[in-house]
A and B are shown apart, each in its own frame.
Chain A
Amino acid sequence: MKAVLALVRRDIALSFREGGAIGVALGFYLVVVAIAPFGLGPDLNLLARVAPGLLWIALLLAALLSADRIFHNDYEDGSLDVLAMGPLPLAGVAASKSLAHWVTTCVPLALLAPVLGLLLNFPIHTIPLLVLAMLAGTPAVSFIAGIGASLTLGLRRSGLLIALLVLPLYVPVLIFGVSTISAAVTDPVRLGRRFMLCAISLASMVLAPLAAAAALRTGFR
């Protein structure tokens, strides 16, 4: 557990000092949401209706932008080999790196979402729920992205490939993420569905590192 925490802390520090990555993801999120009204038209009622889906889809794309970095740097400079031989099981390494990706990418994106929601005429009183739903659902995003990152480790064009491999797996997260938010706007009774979102996140946090570790082992040899 101590090793996991140390690894997570190291990855977070690295990504903050490296700079750039988080800003790019946030900027990408802003741009995607900002150009949507040009395609959909400036009708505020329409924008409010599509806002939950739009915010979620843009968040998935922005989070995938940095997904190929989850293992890449450590693979390049050889730290991953050291970590693999260390006392921490490889699944633990994969879990801590996915967790670091969640902290450094998904949490800032989820915190930016309310601002973008205002641009889309999203009702203000449901904004706390928007952030909560995104914080509950995004662990699944990061941990499943970890599988994609480990499968495509060291390949050319790995970023594009990750998107193709992983986006279909995000369908449940997207469905329950959006329905949690829209249910809060239209029909508070259905709010119980948000537990499905938490369930998907928890299950991915347990299962995805195992798959990612197996995939990392195929890359070593």
Chain B
Amino acid sequence: MTFSLTNLANPTRFLNFAGTVIPWLAALTVLLLGVGLYQAVFVAPTDYQQGETVRIMYIHVPAAWVGMGCYAVIAIAALGTLIWRHPLADVAAKAAAPIGAAFTFVILVTGSLWGKPMWGTYWVWDARLTSLLVLFLLYLGLIALWQSIEDPGRAGRAAAILALVGAVNLPIIKFSVDWWNTLHQPASVFRTGGSTIDPALLTPLFVMGGAFLALFVLLHLIAMRAEILRRRVRVLQQTQVQQAQIAQAARA
């Protein structure tokens, strides 16, 4: 992994790499999503208690894996920005934040759509829901910070610090929310028997997990490519403005 990471530090080499990988990855994503969705919707049996609504799980759970894993990607990229000054680390973190926010949003939406028929309400202040909501807010804060700082270098380092502060805080938030919830709501009836999932349900779930992972990597590569190109355009515009100013000064 380090081999490829150091190799890809050069943005041009990264763009070439992304250009060759993206079509293959897109094909893989479509294939996995197709197989996974077909299995999830048509093949997988319905749950004896939840009925058809169990199928929401095939979107919800993989989105949860990716949405939370994405924050880990950002935190590692933040270390890369601050410690090794890897030139693509802050591009990676910046590209990952909106994707993570989107996946977290999908978790919250599918969760509440599932919650309505199952729990009778779209939203409960269950510990898991609440800590995911806080995660979503952290993503929004990161995106807002990137949007507010014009200079990409400073924005990258500031966001990296915020991402690490968030990474330190997330376990504390998780712990305190768990504790808060059990104080107010001692009987947490909303735990479905996670470990007792039937293999017939589990296979499509893992296929969907693979599909979402491929989708994440695909979107991430595309977003990183777009960000690198955006920075190049920015530099080009700046040099154009400078040259115009120099030309104007020479004329005057």
User: Chain A interface (Cβ within 8 Å of chain B)?
Assistant: 147, 151-152, 155-158, 161, 164-165, 167-169, 171-172, 175-176, 179, 196, 200, 207, 211, 214-215, 218-219, 221
In the bound complex, how far is the Cα of B193 from the Cα of A92, in angstroms? Answer: 50
Are B148 and A169 neighbours in the complex by a CB distance under 8 Å?
no
Provide the B82-96 mask, 1 if CB < 8 A to any CB of A, else 0.
Answer: 100000000000000
Interface of A is mostly: helix
- A215/B183 contact (C-beta < 8 A), A151-B145, A169-B166 known: no
Are B162 and A171 neighbours in the complex by a CB distance under 8 Å?
no
Chain A CB within 8 A of B98 CB:
no
Are B176 and A151 neighbours in the complex by a CB distance under 8 Å?
no
Are A171 and B141 neighbours in the complex by a CB distance under 8 Å?
no
- A211/B176 contact (C-beta < 8 A), A161-B148, A164-B144 known: no
- A151/B158 contact (C-beta < 8 A), A171-B176, A175-B177 known: yes
CB distance from A41 to the nearest CB of B (A): 22
Return the chain A residue nearest B175 by Cβ. Answer: A172
| Contacting residues of chain B (119-173) with chain A, CB-CB under 8 angstroms | 134, 137-138, 140-141, 144-145, 148-149, 154, 157-158, 161-162, 164-166, 168-169, 172-173
CB distance from B74 to the nearest CB of A (A): 15
- A168/B154 contact (C-beta < 8 A), A147-B165, A214-B82 known: no
Are B161 and A215 neighbours in the complex by a CB distance under 8 Å?
yes
Q: What's the count of A-B pairs with C-beta under 8 Å?
A: 68
Are B138 and A171 neighbours in the complex by a CB distance under 8 Å?
no
Report the 5 A-B pairs with minimum CB-CB distance, sorted nearest first: A172-B176, A218-B157, A168-B137, A165-B141, A175-B180
In the bound complex, residues from chain A placing their C-beta under 8 Å from that of B166 are 169
Are A211 and B161 neighbours in the complex by a CB distance under 8 Å?
yes
Q: Which of A165, A172, A200, A219 has the most CB of B within 10 A?
A: A165
In the bound complex, how far is the Cα of B148 from the Cα of A157, in angstroms? Answer: 9
A-B CB contact pairs (8 Å), 8 listed: A151-B162, A158-B148, A161-B144, A165-B145, A167-B137, A168-B138, A179-B183, A207-B168
Return the chain B residue nearest A217 by Cβ. Answer: B157
Our pick among B144, B161, B169 for the contact of A214 (Cβ within 8 Å) is B161
Chain A CB within 8 A of B17 CB:
no
In the bound complex, residues from chain B placing their C-beta under 8 Å from that of A156 are 148
Are A152 and B172 neighbours in the complex by a CB distance under 8 Å?
no
In the bound complex, how far is the Cα of B145 from the Cα of A179, in angstroms? Answer: 32
CB distance from A71 to the nearest CB of B (A): 13
In the bound complex, residues from chain B placing their C-beta under 8 Å from that of A151 are 145, 158, 161-162
In the bound complex, residues from chain B placing their C-beta under 8 Å from that of A147 are 161-162, 165
Are A155 and B183 neighbours in the complex by a CB distance under 8 Å?
no
In the bound complex, residues from chain B placing their C-beta under 8 Å from that of A158 are 148
CB distance from B45 to the nearest CB of A (A): 39
- A200/B162 contact (C-beta < 8 A), A155-B148, A179-B180 known: no
- A175/B162 contact (C-beta < 8 A), A161-B145, A165-B144 known: no
Are B161 and A169 neighbours in the complex by a CB distance under 8 Å?
no
Return the chain A residue nearest B180 by Cβ. Answer: A175
- A211/B165 contact (C-beta < 8 A), A151-B158, A171-B134, A218-B157 known: yes
Are A211 and B137 neighbours in the complex by a CB distance under 8 Å?
no
In the bound complex, residues from chain A placing their C-beta under 8 Å from that of B144 are 161, 164-165
Are A176 and B176 neighbours in the complex by a CB distance under 8 Å?
yes
Return the chain A residue nearest B142 by Cβ. Answer: A165
Are B141 and A221 neighbours in the complex by a CB distance under 8 Å?
no
In the bound complex, how far is the Cα of B176 from the Cα of A176, in angstroms? Answer: 8
In the bound complex, residues from chain A placing their C-beta under 8 Å from that of B162 are 147, 151, 165
Our pick among A175, A207, A218 for the contact of B179 (Cβ within 8 Å) is A175
Return the chain A residue nearest B131 by Cβ. Answer: A171
CB distance from B165 to the nearest CB of A (A): 5
In the bound complex, residues from chain B placing their C-beta under 8 Å from that of A169 are 165-166, 169, 173
Return the chain A residue nearest B181 by Cβ. Answer: A175
Are B158 and A175 neighbours in the complex by a CB distance under 8 Å?
no
In the bound complex, how far is the Cα of B184 from the Cα of A175, in angstroms? Answer: 11
